[in-house]
Structure 1
Amino acid sequence: MRNILRLFAFLFLMGLALPWAASAAPPTIPGRLVLKLQPGKAPSALDAVLRSLGAGALQQKFPRALAPSPERPGGVELRGIYQLQLPATVTLDWARAALLATGAVEYVEPLYIREPLYQPNDPMADSTLTDITTSQFYLKQIKAYRAWDITRGDSSLVIGITDGGVRLTHEELRQQVKHNYADPINGLDDDNDGYIDNFTGWDLANNDNNAGYDPTIVHGTLVAGVTAARTDNGVGIAGLGNRCRFLPLSIYPNTPTGVFAGYEAIVYAADHGCQVINMSWGAVGGYSRFEQDVITYAAVNRNAVLVAAAGNTNADLLFYPASYDHVLSVSGVQSTDQKSPNGTFSHRVDMVAPGISILTTYGVQDNDYIAVGGTSFAAPLVSAAAALVRRVFPQYNSDQVAAQLRQTTDNIDNLPANAQWVGRLGTGRLNVLKAVTRTNLQEARVVTSYFAPQRTAYLPGDTIRLTTDVQNLLQPVAGLTVTLTSLSPYVTVRQGSFVVGSLPTLGRARNTAAPFRLAVAASGIPLNTTATLRYRLTATGGFQLDQYVDLVLNPDYVVLDANDLALTLTSRGNLAYDNLAGTVGAGLTYRGSSNILSEGGLLLATSATRVSDRLRTSGGQSRQSFFSLAQATRQQPGPRATQEARVVFQDTVPVAGSRVRSVGVRVRQRAYAYAAAGLRDFVLLEYSLKNITADTLKPLYAGIFTDWDLPNSDGAARNVATWDSARTLGYAYAVGQTAPQPLPTAYAGIRLLRGGTPAVYSIDNGAPVGSAVRLADGFSLAEKFLTLSNGTARAQRTAGLPNGADVSQVVGTRVARLAPGDSTTVTFAVLVAPTLPQLQASADAAASVYATLLPARAAASAAGFNVYPNPAAGRLRVELPAQFGLATLWLNNAVGQTVLKQTGVEKAIELNLTSLGPGLYVLRAQGANGLVTRNVVVR
């Protein structure tokens, strides 16, 4: 991990671009999770599940955190947050499912690593600009000199620099550090704050008191110089903070045991008196409730102003921590106020500041300087300005300081050079003079948005209610109105006005009685569309402020939730999620449970080298065999079920001599969910498979892979996977269920309802090296083929006994041959139930429903061919057509096995069905004059 961070730092320092991607998630600390207990729950509630996971002891992250105060609504409790270390054999997804299943945990998340944001200028490129690299031109640009006539700050105002280590001996910085005189360096924790000898900041990444210079990451020294370089010392530069001090907090590891600690540093800074905290680091995406909790704690509980760099992406995207609530997001501009070439722009940016050729302390020596660029150095200018504002307006809380800075910027949207970024550079460019002199300003804001129903994405035709909290931060306002407008053609605002009226300073209002009402277009929405809504706040006297909130529309998946299951189906054959990270999709839940299927999807094969799927492979990657031909759509009600889904996808057609390892099949998937009593525990998945190659596929294997995570009563996720041959049902169950109230997700499985010869393969995901199938090192093509082609061999029917394990299973079928252009249909039921008898009953109900509501087409029909009663129980009467001749009757089960045969039938016969289990059967009559078939349901 240390080498990775140093590589990133090196790339930044060399001016090399990093491949930011809006859909990417930042890296995480290996094996480490952070969780938050539900209010009133004790850590001991997790003892059993921690033992089952083999995890280390829980460590309370912030035991000395300040509790929320009723005087400042919106605070957060950090003392319920813990972290734990997992063994290398336990996946984060598995542990998350087990912990959430206890009901004692509010959230479980990985710990993200956020990188320093440094993008240096090429000094030679700026050599034609007079003094641009050798002077602090930007101080004039932001009116700093005149602002210093009003205030030069105060040594009691401390800015927390959460960054790389700082060269504390630099001539511009050594007298600007805020020391902790209550804890001198003597080997004791004199101030009883949990840190020994934290006299000069703290290294949170390596857990020591050395926050000094690190030659591999000079970023911290650069940022500190912009904010707090000493003034009036006759050398070098002047930091905008002037007399304000800074607290060095190192967040990047330089020891083998160190880990990124940006958010721990925020809490430390807030707890140790920093009135402003600077964060010149971050990453695209990776929203985290833990990180938002930390931000909220610092801003609300501890009243600190948080300022973050918006990122050097030159893209419109969310960048964290800058995009969290309670953070001033700062992008960059050039000396002409034109947007910096690489500055992020978005509706979430609050303001901009100079970010090109910023002269600052370098730190390789004690008296060196360098001109650098990037939003990393725009943010500390705003942090320093925030400290000056706090000096002039000591009565302001952190949100009011942020409002003061936003409302005193110089608008730059009217510059022709910024025309393409209008509305995405915040309120304008920092003006420190206005910030410390203007009074009688107004700013009311929407501070919270509540969508109902609450979803990660909305489907065509959805209707939405939106409730908002509005707070007035500065001077009292009158005639305040919030108007909601859709900036997307795919969302219509049906009720978009909230008349607030008058609000005093720090007053709040909510439109609970008359929420905004929205409607999503019924059709024509491109996949994964982001729709932006605009809040426009206006008040008497000319106040106007725009804020924005986004919705994701028409996701490339649908959720069937008509009954007790809520199952995600993607447009490319996956179940639960469209990606391994589990961020695209709603998973599989049952009666409001947490997700119980970490990965699932269709698996096709003809040989060990021709396999098609979008399941895991190796190195944390997934195969991408299938591509969508038609978006997943949901119909409610459907013609045959309460909800129906349609998906069309295919893989690549293999070409002789190519390296393509696909099968060559087009898939039409249909799914059915029912809301009626007795039908609420399953979803039917029907796949029509068409051979699109020029050769006969013989045989063709098809199956469903499922990696179940079923929690047991003590919260652990110890599972067993097994096989019910009578029902062709593969299922998993949680070991250690406690009667008489088992968890509702104790049993889950896949039943093969229609197809060829059944197959099952149960997998212990933690199987030792040398096992035939070992998911710990990936899922190879040969392993996938083995799971499909091994039939129902006894050795592969069960996994996880006797104590339970992390298990997966493949339930499949073998189609003997499929000619070019021909199609065949295989059908499965996805089932969840609290008990085995209920799971079996639901499996039988699924077979019955599929037989009666989704009948297969008869191979032939003829007048006089009657089969009754149907559904049948006990006996079945069969009447053959006239002149049919002597016939042979076969009764086959749903997977093609003959369970009853009768020869020499002339005209009518009664068949005894008492020995047969309930389900779908196919009756075939072959006579001298033809063949007739009929579906039969046995109750």
Structure 2
Amino acid sequence: MHKLLRLLAAAGSLLSASAAPALAQLPAASSAAPSPTVPGLAVLKLQPGASLAAVEATLRQLGAAGVAQKYPKAQAPSPERPGSVELRTIYQFSYPTALPLAKVRQALLATGAVAYVEPLYQRAPLYQPNDPGADSTGTNPALTQYYLKNIQAYRGWDLSRGDSTVVIGISDTGTRFTHEDLRGQLKHNYADPIDGRDNDNDGYVDNFQGWDLADNDNNPTAEAPYGGHGVLVAGCVVARPDNGKGLAGVGFNCRYLPLKVYPSTAGGVFGGYESVVYGADHGCRIINLSWGGTGGKSQYEQDIINYAALNKDVLVVAAAGNANAELDFYPASYDNVVSVAGVSPTDRQVLTYSYRVALSAPGDFILTTEASNDSSYIPVAGSSFAAPIVAGAAGLVRSKYPQLSAAQVAAVLRRTTDDIYSLPGNTALVGKLGTGRLNVRRALALGPNQTAVRVLSQRLSRPRLLPADTARLTLTIQNLLQPVQGLTLSVSSLTPQLSVSGGATLGSLATSATATVPLQLSVAAGTPAGTRAVLRCRFTASGDYQDDQYVVLELNPDYVVLTANDLHLTVTSRGNLGYDGTDNQIGASITYRNSPNLLSEGGLLVATGPAKVMDHLRSAPLYTTDADFLTRQPIRMVAETPARQQAAGAFQDSLPSLSRGRTLGIRVRQRAWAWSAPATDRDYAIVEYTVRNVSADTLRPLHAGLFMDWDLPGDAGHNVANWDSTRYLGYVADAVRPTVFAGLRLLQPTARPAVRYYAINNAAGPTAPLSFADGFSSAEKFLTLNSGTRQNRAGGTVGSDVSHVLGAALGRLAPNDSVTVAFAVVAAPTLAQLQAAADAAQIRYQQVLPTRAPAAALTWQVYPNPTTGQVRVILPIAAAERQAELLDALGRSVGHWPVPATTNDLNLGRISPGVYSLRIRSDAGWQVQRVVLQR
């Protein structure tokens, strides 16, 4: 112990000179930055009963390789374990790094054989060192394991000291086998001694003392570059008690299994979720995950958690995060995870909090084992160390009450905490630090002899909750512990924009029994985009039982989907179409007549030069995204009738003075429309962007356009892009068997625009003028906007993976001036129908979206309409000089007639059938009506 005291006396220098360099290379997991993904590697899951053949064929076409069943030995789901999942239909594959995963996902989902396609996230270890020298109170908690007293571990050990048969998996950076406080605490696999053979036939050779899931070998020793984070975590759980050295882990006699998940070799890759499956399949009763990240919520990762928790009855404990903020953090925020928040020595909130937290534990000044030598110890801080304290307590509970399931153990831990919400600083966080701070003694003393009812799952009657929506929310609840009498559930909304009605008087509920409770939800009409709504579910029962649980719902997600006709278009708040930037989990793409998703990425480009391109699209280098546009007014529906939908919003970049000249200083008002009738309007939607210069300088030369990366069936790798110059229409179709055509038309209400069109072969090599092999640079984006229409075809004769940019050169834009550019997004079964839809969109734009609003409307009628050749025009007053003009879909004049009287007959018999605009000049300007000429 004298070595420990000398070390602690110099703790400040150790943290700065020893611990910090060893862990300085760890990715920062305490911020809210999204987790990175593994380049060129992804997983897919087959639909139940689907064949792999079509998937393999599509992957070959994409240039993907290495398709392999990821968990061939996983346990099958069992009807006796509701919610258990199938992992044997999950496959891992590699794909060309120049190919966006969004396109891979799109192609695979189009086969109909795939449930999901997801990247593999690289979740970072949670480490946040704390210098005890900063403690100015004179009593340094880092010199002792103060937290054992806080959580009443000493008194708890009087009731249970754990059992060596209870194994706690430590999924982390590895271990130090020879540390004096970890020796003897390891769980060995005696069925597979180190002899070069797979003696137990589990697919792992010589996995005698854990496994390195990152490098796929049998050496889970903590090594550079990630260092000894796993040693710190292991000490909190299983530091050997009663050996006269160092510390005592909370789990006391429980054993640990090291599962190394961070690579030590160049070929290694993060193996966190693989470690969860490995630990579940190799006897772990608890698995601790002191790593994670924000963003990238994944169904694949949720499946892995469900497999461990439901198929294998493993208690999964995870750190809630180290940001001093409220946020969702994964894996802690997944279902069936015990999420643990870290609190200070005085039980104050200091780290991440959320309604997903199950309970709290000490996470500051945690004295634990350290990896630099066999007798080193160090005080550390972070939820990384709060989680294993709870994992150790779970090991004690599972030892004393082996009959309890993982869900029941979690219930015991939640129900026996100490209330910490009355403390200053915590009062405003009710429900966001879980049920309170861990109390080991109470958990062991009360065990299953208490009431614990929980919301097991939830189901919404509609996929999105939009403003003015009503929906049904069905809660499934379960009684986890002793039978309950007089049970009631009341539900209230903590969010003004959401109201809820319903609840239940459930009466008696036996242990493990479930019940369903329907609720009616109502969303307020003016709900802002991206509102997070919270429902409080309060359970009460006989015996003074009361327990709260919280359900979080997203209202008015930050995009709208126009669904008035056969083309369904997603419009986001930052200038994207289809999806929000490169995140194709936010949005619903573009579909046509219930087709597969047609667009993998799309959005607005505004530029003045090769280094001044503003967008929210893929960038260079690979796997990066430009985030130039910021939401100013979230996109939302502003008018919705049976015949028309309209959405509006606004976004902007930064002022050049705030970005060292890297931005333009523009504000963009966006609007979008879709019509359900007549039939000629069912194949398109219109998007319009009004760009205002809010900078102090004239923008010149200003360009604006839309980038669209289409993936059309039947094979997105055999698409071709073409240009119809008479209509300003760029379109894409399958080169061999086209079943749907899709594209963009540039809409102009007045003069002919300086049109720009650029067709892109996405598979072009690095020597091409534009190559996605190294990303999509600003210079390449400007090239597409500044090359006229010379590059107007892509895909050749057999097709390729293609995209295109359609836009216009808009000239000069003085400060505070604005300019408008508009497009029709069109789709149709044939090229002729696509062209007709593009023509109809042009006429509709001229008719109802004039560039200048009339001073006074001229009330006039045209009938019959449609007509076979003769129409009658009725005007409110006569005017001798008045003329009518008929324009075709390209804006060309095809006929003039005098209309001097109140009733005028026009003969259109010599004009070809089609859709036309009939316009009459009045004092208020041009008044337009659409005329359909049939034969």
Whether TM-score is above 0.5 comes out as: yes
Q: What is the deviation of 1:832?
A: 2.5
- Paired residues of 1:313 and 1:344 also in contact (CA < 8 A): yes
Encode CA deviations 1:711-759: one digit per residue, 9 max, x unaligned: 316xx54321112345432211134438xxx5xxx32111234342344
- Paired residues of 1:94 and 1:717 also in contact (CA < 8 A): no
1:290 and 1:879, CA in 2 relative to 1: closer, same or farther beyond 3 A?
closer
Partner of 2:437: 429
Partner of 2:243: 233
Q: What is the deviation of 1:66?
A: 0.6
Q: What is the deviation of 1:20?
A: 4.3
State the secondary structure of the residue aligned to 2:142: coil
Does 1:706 pair with 2:728?
Answer: no
- Paired residues of 2:746 and 2:807 also in contact (CA < 8 A): yes
Partner of 1:418: 426
Which region of structure 1 is more displaced relative to structure 2, 440-449 or 121-130?
121-130
Does 1:331 pair with 2:341?
Answer: yes
Q: What is the deviation of 1:97?
A: 0.7
Q: What is the deviation of 1:95?
A: 0.4
Please show how residues 170-249 of structure 1 align to structure 2 within 5 Å.
170-216=179-225, 217-249=227-259
- Paired residues of 2:879 and 2:900 also in contact (CA < 8 A): no
1:446 to 444, 455, 461: 455
Counterpart CA distance in 2 for 1:903 and 1:203 is 84
1:287 to 281, 297, 311: 297
Query: Gaps spanning 5+ residues in structure 2: where?
Result: 1-17
Partner of 1:509: 515
Counterpart CA distance in 2 for 1:347 and 1:902 is 68
Which region of structure 1 is more displaced relative to structure 2, 812-821 or 398-407?
812-821
Partner of 1:4: none
Which region of structure 1 is more displaced relative to structure 2, 205-214 or 558-567?
558-567
Partner of 2:718: 718
Does 1:760 pair with 2:763?
Answer: no
Counterpart CA distance in 2 for 1:607 and 1:183 is 64
Q: What is the deviation of 1:774?
A: 3.2
- Paired residues of 2:27 and 2:125 also in contact (CA < 8 A): no
2:311 to 296, 301, 304: 301
Does 1:464 pair with 2:444?
Answer: no
Counterpart CA distance in 1 for 2:363 and 2:469 is 43
Partner of 1:3: none
Counterpart CA distance in 2 for 1:224 and 1:183 is 23
1:184 and 1:843, CA in 2 relative to 1: closer, same or farther beyond 3 A?
same
1:801 to 788, 796, 801: 796
Encode CA deviations 1:426-455: one digit per residue, 9 max, x unaligned: 112222122122142110100111122122
- Paired residues of 1:359 and 1:370 also in contact (CA < 8 A): yes
Aligned pairs, number = 906
1:356 to 364, 370, 379: 364
Does 1:380 pair with 2:388?
Answer: yes
Amino acid at match of 1:436: L
1:56 to 60, 65, 68: 65
1:904 and 1:159, CA in 2 relative to 1: closer, same or farther beyond 3 A?
closer
Partner of 1:734: 734
Please show how residues 307-346 of structure 1 align to structure 2 within 5 Å.
307-339=317-349, 341=350, 343-346=351-354
- Paired residues of 1:154 and 1:243 also in contact (CA < 8 A): yes
2:582 to 580, 583, 589: 580
Q: What is the deviation of 1:219?
A: 0.9
Which region of structure 1 is more displaced relative to structure 2, 858-867 or 190-199?
858-867
Partner of 2:15: none
Partner of 2:123: 114
Q: What is the deviation of 1:388?
A: 1.2
Which region of structure 1 is more displaced relative to structure 2, 174-183 or 527-536?
527-536
State the secondary structure of the residue aligned to 1:802: coil
1:936 and 1:529, CA in 2 relative to 1: closer, same or farther beyond 3 A?
closer
1:508 and 1:835, CA in 2 relative to 1: closer, same or farther beyond 3 A?
farther
- Paired residues of 2:366 and 2:379 also in contact (CA < 8 A): yes
Partner of 2:87: 78
Does 1:156 pair with 2:165?
Answer: yes
Counterpart CA distance in 2 for 1:698 and 1:374 is 51
Query: Gaps spanning 5+ residues in structure 1: where?
Result: 1-7
State the secondary structure of the residue aligned to 1:450: strand
Q: What is the deviation of 1:814?
A: 5.3
State the secondary structure of the residue aligned to 2:760: strand
Which region of structure 1 is more displaced relative to structure 2, 153-162 or 804-813?
804-813
Partner of 2:806: 811
- Paired residues of 2:344 and 2:363 also in contact (CA < 8 A): yes
- Paired residues of 2:31 and 2:322 also in contact (CA < 8 A): no
Partner of 1:500: 506
Amino acid at match of 2:761: D
Counterpart CA distance in 2 for 1:290 and 1:429 is 31
Which region of structure 1 is more displaced relative to structure 2, 236-245 or 175-184?
236-245
Encode CA deviations 1:344-399: one digit per residue, 9 max, x unaligned: 22221111222222222212112222222221111111111111111111111110
Amino acid at match of 2:144: S
1:421 and 1:905, CA in 2 relative to 1: closer, same or farther beyond 3 A?
closer
1:934 and 1:615, CA in 2 relative to 1: closer, same or farther beyond 3 A?
same
1:377 and 1:186, CA in 2 relative to 1: closer, same or farther beyond 3 A?
same
Q: What is the deviation of 1:858?
A: 9.7
- Paired residues of 2:29 and 2:125 also in contact (CA < 8 A): no
1:14 and 1:73, CA in 2 relative to 1: closer, same or farther beyond 3 A?
same
1:923 and 1:454, CA in 2 relative to 1: closer, same or farther beyond 3 A?
closer
Partner of 2:12: none
Identity %: 52
State the secondary structure of the residue aligned to 1:382: helix
State the secondary structure of the residue aligned to 1:138: helix
Amino acid at match of 2:502: G
1:788 and 1:314, CA in 2 relative to 1: closer, same or farther beyond 3 A?
closer
Does 1:548 pair with 2:550?
Answer: yes
1:441 and 1:491, CA in 2 relative to 1: closer, same or farther beyond 3 A?
same
Which region of structure 1 is more displaced relative to structure 2, 151-160 or 197-206?
151-160
Does 1:146 pair with 2:155?
Answer: yes
Partner of 1:254: 264
Counterpart CA distance in 2 for 1:812 and 1:248 is 56
Counterpart CA distance in 2 for 1:677 and 1:134 is 78
1:750 to 737, 744, 747: 744
Partner of 1:478: 485
Partner of 2:6: none
Encode CA deviations 1:248-286: one digit per residue, 9 max, x unaligned: 110000001001101100100000011111111111232
Counterpart CA distance in 1 for 2:634 and 2:574 is 9
- Paired residues of 1:701 and 1:814 also in contact (CA < 8 A): yes
Q: What is the deviation of 1:174?
A: 2.1
Encode CA deviations 1:526-572: one digit per residue, 9 max, x unaligned: 44322211111111222111111222234443221222333222344
State the secondary structure of the residue aligned to 2:231: helix
Q: What is the deviation of 1:825?
A: 5.4
Amino acid at match of 1:802: T
Encode CA deviations 1:154-204: one digit per residue, 9 max, x unaligned: 211111111111000112222111111111111111100000111111000
Counterpart CA distance in 2 for 1:787 and 1:540 is 70
- Paired residues of 1:875 and 1:911 also in contact (CA < 8 A): yes
Counterpart CA distance in 1 for 2:403 and 2:924 is 94
1:145 and 1:480, CA in 2 relative to 1: closer, same or farther beyond 3 A?
same
Partner of 1:918: 914
State the secondary structure of the residue aligned to 1:150: coil
Please show how residues 643-654 of structure 1 align to structure 2 within 5 Å.
643-648=645-650
Encode CA deviations 1:114-153: one digit per residue, 9 max, x unaligned: 1111222213234855573333232222222222222222
Partner of 2:14: none
- Paired residues of 2:652 and 2:665 also in contact (CA < 8 A): no
TM-score, normalising length: structure 2: 0.88
Q: What is the deviation of 1:596?
A: 2.5
Q: What is the deviation of 1:502?
A: 1.5
Does 1:569 pair with 2:578?
Answer: no
